[in-house]
Structure 1
Amino acid sequence: MSATLAVLGGDVEEQAFNRAVAGLIRDARRRAGVTQAYVGHQAGLSRASIANIEAGTQAPPLYRLALIAVALNVQPAELLPPLRPDEAAGLPARHAADVAAVWAQAAKMRDGHGEG
């Protein structure tokens, strides 16, 4: 696990994770050349929600993260910090489960068993 995430605890760890996700979403949106309003519409969220997600003050549920990824034409795993599945064990349970689910979906897609 990265030193940053390993030394943080509780809510601070969650905030760090959310900030990392926020930066990845913001960077992917900018690379895609689309607006927050567009991403929000595609993901069933408001532009304000996307702004909050990009600011790290709101975390998208896994389903919405997948829809955001579709809107940005990236794999959902690209919107998560670079953690290996074994490193997710140190995260709070809800985040570890989300990371594991995204890794599993990415593996299925790589193997040609998923959509995308």
Structure 2
Amino acid sequence: MSGVRAYRPHPDRLLQWRREVGARVRDYRMLRNLTQEGLAGRLGVERRTIVRIELGTTSPPLDRILAVAAALDAVPAALMPGWPDHTSSD
């Protein structure tokens, strides 16, 4: 091996990121007047998956974040703290 180490975020940072993603998903869901069941139905997952995302107890994979964003009619970057939002025309 070349000695390159894989990036491992600090557990506190990862927890903070997961909680922020969850809060953003919840906020967008509520703005769209969707229940957790309604969002789960749009995604073809169980309600508990949405609960886990919103509580920050799981790190959703990128494909799940993209699906959630599409189901909420949101830009994916809006759900992910630290990602630039390239939708503005500045």
Task: Confirm or deny a common fold (TM above 0.5).
Answer: yes
TM-score category, normalised to shorter length: 0.7 to 0.9
Q: Over alpha carbons, which structure has the higher Rg?
A: 2
Q: Which residue of 2 aligns with 1:80?
A: 80
Counterparts of 1:83-94 in structure 2, within 5 Å, are 83=82
The one-letter amino acid of 1:47's match is R
Runs of at least 5 residues in structure 1 that lack an aligned partner in the other structure: 1-8, 86-102, 111-116
Identify, as 1 or 2, the structure richer in helix: 1
Aligned length: 79
CA contact (8 A) 1:53 1:60 kept: yes
Q: Look up the equivalent residue of 1:50 and give its one-letter code.
A: I
TM-score relative to the length of structure 2: 0.77
The alignment's TM-score, normalised by the length of structure 1, stands at 0.61
CA distance in 2, matches of 1:52, 1:13: 18
Contact 2:77 2:83 in 1 (8 A): no
What does 1:36-75 correspond to in 2, within 5 Å? 36-75=36-75
Q: In the TM superposition, what are the counterparts of 1:16-55 in structure 2 within 5 Å?
A: 16-55=16-55
Structure 1: 4+ residue segments shifted above 4 A = none
Q: State, as a whole percentage, how many aligned pairs show the same letter.
A: 33
> Unpaired runs of 5+ in structure 2?
1-8
Cα RMSD (Å): 1.8
CA contact (8 A) 1:65 1:76 kept: yes
Higher RCO (CA 8 Å, separation ≥ 6 residues): 2
